[in-house]
Structure 1
Amino acid sequence: MTRRWIWLGLLLLAGCSGVAVEETAVSPALSQAVAPANCRTVAAQQPCDPRPQFAEYAVNNQYDQFAWDLFLFVNWPAVPGERGVADGDKKLGEGETAVWQTWKNVAEVYVPAGQTPLPWNSPIVPPLLETNIEIDGRLLTDKQGRPTLAQVNQNEATFDYIVNQRKIYNRAGQAAFFTDSAAPPIDFPAAAMEVKAIWRILDAAEQQSGRYHVTEGCYSDDNGDKQCATLGLTAFHLISKVQAHWFWATFEQVDNQQTTNAPVVEPIAPAVAKLNEAMQAQLVGTPWQYYQLRGSQWSFMQDDQPVILANTQIETQFQQSSSCMTCHALSSIGASNSRAEMWNFADGNVEGYTGDPPPLAAGKFKSLDYVWSLRRAK
């Protein structure tokens, strides 16, 4: 019988305890879950969810290992036609579709005219990918001048909280939340996750190289015409609500600097590079051996210094002033669909905020609990 590793879904929908990020305490909902075998020994052999063990990773200061184990879990081959279900009969690299690709794309959550999204288990329809226009308004292209492409997907816990629990999938719902002084804060459940993936059009040789996680995808060109191509995954942001301030990790394909117009401004830390080598050695024979962790983030500050975390394919032009956590801490809603400013204008330069985030103006904005994708609501 096919072994199916069901995501922790409704079992884990209890909210976080609200502990401070410095305590790195795992949410009660996850700590009470039955954890599978230690993911650090089996992650490359079978699907293993490391989230119930987050407190152990944190105590041992193994956040980067947690990032790798979570990355492998969400990239496990999916059961065809089902959302969020890893196929335990397959090994990494054996399936065309990863588990996260079966999650809801944001286009299915924030639908035109603010209509109610289809249920979680609605048929899986591959999304029309977006051109990768970064948050500073610039488009990253490959060496041939072709656009890189982006998509944002949410797991069931995130989708359920937005659509069914809080009904904030459209502007009307978010406006109601903002104006209701008695409404509880937006506080995603412990099981919530979201990913942002970047893809690049592959030539025939690259398609056969075995160096990429590959998919077939479509997008709209500059003329509005639909174009389809074979794509390779080049970058991957992953966030998980295992702690009050979420956990952040970002990965890249190892050939990016030869194939895209993105420089490396912030090199990978030596300890992370060493871990990458160890993990890649476990993944030989799969496309995932050609991916690397750029870094993870679990706090705003470390050793009294702002934590910097950037992906060359997503924060190309502001790698030295990029903090995933600080940026997302400013996700907010205000009157007339306004939001807090996510840029720091200093000395004539535009930079991302880093370190402890500036407080949201009381009465002017309400927090969206680090989930900027809510701003896509219509």
Structure 2
Amino acid sequence: MKTLVCFSMLLLGLANLPAQAREATQPSALATSLSCQLPAAAPAAGAGQTLFDEYSWQLFVALNWPAQDGQRGSPDCTKQPGGSGYTVWQTYKSVAEIFLPNAANPGPWDSVLRAKSLGLINIAALKNTNQQERVDQAVGGWLIDQAGNPTYYDIAANETSYDYIVNNTFYNANVVSNASSIKFPNGVIEVKSSWRILTSKDNASRYLNMIAQVTTFDAQGKPNGVAQQLLGLVGLHIITKPVGYPQWVWSTFEQIDNVPADPSTHGSYYDPAATTVNQSPCNWNTQGAHPVCVPVSGTTFQTPDPLTRVTAIDSATDKVNATYRADPGLKNSPLKYYQLITTQRPLNPNMIGNPMGTPTPTLSANVTMESYIQPTSSCMACHSMATPPKSAIKSDYSYLFKFAQTPGATPSPIKE
């Protein structure tokens, strides 16, 4: 793939960055249950947490398998999970590739994969605004790591989702906002990812990582340029719509060093010596209906110290994590340094009079994406309110249409 060649050349010019430490690609000879293929079906409604968590891990492994060159969304099963090159989900179409300026048709699915470029959101919550500049975490301020760098976000969709959007011209804000109904087909997958800049103090082999262009900011939080950086994956939401689940199934993973289980040790976003919460470069006024960012004059980036996990990982989920992370097939893979936080799904997906289907578990929060609303965070509850721009119609649990463009309008500078 042309893009991968370009990335190899790019690495030569990044001598000041830590070496990209993905394991060397070797033919797969795994005597394990790990599979490069997505699970054929979700567990039956009412199944226990363990079965759904195993389903989430199967998704995570398959989506993080290296993709075939020139074939978006297809795994190269001769390689190992988490091996070098773009993963399957990284070849999905990003919002920047789906929603083009002037609502142009985004073209065929298997277009050439271009270099990644990530932007940080510093606007109000995506679910509460029509602004389209960047990809936000769910609610709240910027998330700054212990190195003083912001966290970056991206959203992508698989071919089934892409075809539904393109075939219905829903990349056009006027069309999707006037739609009488929006209902994605079964088989849709959306992925939301969060990334941090890896410095010389980080062990890059503990991260699924990539070289990408990122927006840079001044001390007041204003964009002031772009730079090539080595990024490490710190959070991953995997949202699937399998048969039998009109409310979708919601899986969320984190890199294990984000917030350590032992509060006396440091983490990427945690300092045990910190005693106060500092959410610079904004003071967050949370008295109203939505958080309001009040810029701090003259400030520099600071970490929200201490960032902690509000809801502990369920013991059943912890056991599934331990099993998969110890799998011999992940021995030389960065995937062993990730953990499932939870799998949220509807307990009663088809109950008449219960459109939400009873979200189970009630809460679901990724510390890198719902950092400031962990005590009340629910993926299903949040996404149940999703609508297209300037429309009250529900958009089937997807916020993708917030990025839809209008023909002839000044294009929103969506960052991939």
TM-score by length of 1: 0.74
CA contact (8 A) 1:42 1:48 kept: no
Distance in 2 separating the partners of 1:42 and 1:306: 29
Distance in 1 separating the partners of 2:106 and 2:398: 18
Q: Which amino acid aligns with 1:298?
A: R
Query: 2:194 matched to 1:198?
Result: yes
Q: Aligned to 2:232, what secondary structure does the other structure show?
A: strand
Q: What is residue 362 of structure 2 aligned with on the other side?
A: 307
Query: 2:405 matched to 1:338?
Result: no
Q: What is residue 257 of structure 2 aligned with on the other side?
A: 255
Q: Gapped runs of 5+ residues in structure 2? A: 1-30, 122-135, 218-222, 260-266, 270-303, 347-355, 406-416
Structure 2 counterparts to residues 21-36 of structure 1, below 5 A = none
Query: 2:319 matched to 1:319?
Result: no
Distance 1:126 1:92, change over 3 A: same
Q: Aligned to 1:117, what secondary structure does the other structure show?
A: coil
Q: What is residue 270 of structure 1 aligned with on the other side?
A: 315
Query: 2:99 matched to 1:110?
Result: yes
CA contact (8 A) 1:57 1:66 kept: no
| Cα shift readout 1:69-125 (whole Å, capped 9, x = no counterpart) | 111111111112321110011011322211000110111111122221132111101
Displacement of 1:219: 1.4
Query: 2:150 matched to 1:154?
Result: no
Q: What is residue 409 of structure 2 aligned with on the other side?
A: none
Distance 1:270 1:59, change over 3 A: closer
| Cα shift readout 1:41-65 (whole Å, capped 9, x = no counterpart) | 9542x41221x23245864651111
RMSD: 2.1
Q: Which amino acid aligns with 2:89?
A: W
Q: What is residue 47 of structure 1 aligned with on the other side?
A: 36
Distance 1:225 1:43, change over 3 A: farther
Q: Which amino acid aligns with 2:309?
A: V
Q: What is residue 187 of structure 1 aligned with on the other side?
A: 183
Bigger proportion of residues as helix: 1
| Cα shift readout 1:151-180 (whole Å, capped 9, x = no counterpart) | 10110000000011x211121111331xxx
CA contact (8 A) 1:188 1:369 kept: yes
Q: What is residue 227 of structure 2 aligned with on the other side?
A: 227
Distance in 2 separating the partners of 1:301 and 1:189: 18
Q: What is residue 143 of structure 2 aligned with on the other side?
A: 140
Q: What is residue 282 of structure 2 aligned with on the other side?
A: none
Displacement of 1:137: 4.1
Distance in 2 separating the partners of 1:265 and 1:199: 21
CA contact (8 A) 1:96 1:214 kept: no
Displacement of 1:215: 0.4
Q: What is residue 15 of structure 2 aligned with on the other side?
A: none
Q: Gapped runs of 5+ residues in structure 1? A: 1-40, 178-182, 340-364
Structure 2 counterparts to residues 342-353 of structure 1, below 5 A = none
Distance in 2 separating the partners of 1:101 and 1:53: 22
Q: What is residue 296 of structure 2 aligned with on the other side?
A: none
Q: What is residue 172 of structure 1 aligned with on the other side?
A: 174
Count of residues paired in the alignment: 299
Displacement of 1:320: 1.2
Q: Aligned to 1:63, what secondary structure does the other structure show?
A: helix
Distance 1:194 1:43, change over 3 A: farther
Q: Aligned to 1:194, what secondary structure does the other structure show?
A: strand
Displacement of 1:322: 0.7
Query: 2:235 matched to 1:218?
Result: no
Q: Which amino acid aligns with 1:162?
A: I
Q: What is residue 5 of structure 1 aligned with on the other side?
A: none
Q: What is residue 345 of structure 1 aligned with on the other side?
A: none
- Which structure is richer in relative contact order (CA contacts within 8 A, separation 6 or more)? 2
Displacement of 1:326: 1.1
Distance in 1 separating the partners of 2:371 and 2:68: 34
Q: What is residue 374 of structure 1 aligned with on the other side?
A: 401
Q: For structure 1, which segment, 273-282 or 261-270, has the greater mean C-alpha deviation from structure 2 after superposition? A: 261-270
Distance in 2 separating the partners of 1:286 and 1:69: 15
Q: What is residue 291 of structure 1 aligned with on the other side?
A: 338
Distance in 2 separating the partners of 1:174 and 1:147: 33
CA contact (8 A) 2:68 2:74 kept: yes
Q: Which amino acid aligns with 1:167?
A: T
TM-score by length of 2: 0.68
Distance in 2 separating the partners of 1:72 and 1:43: 11
Q: For structure 1, which segment, 125-134 or 90-99, has the greater mean C-alpha deviation from structure 2 after superposition? A: 125-134
Displacement of 1:301: 6.8
CA contact (8 A) 2:365 2:374 kept: yes
Q: Which amino acid aligns with 2:196?
A: R
Structure 1 residue runs of 4 or more that deviate by more than 6 Å after TM superposition: none
Q: Aligned to 1:87, what secondary structure does the other structure show?
A: coil
CA contact (8 A) 1:107 1:127 kept: no
Distance in 1 separating the partners of 2:268 and 2:357: 33
Query: 2:133 matched to 1:88?
Result: no
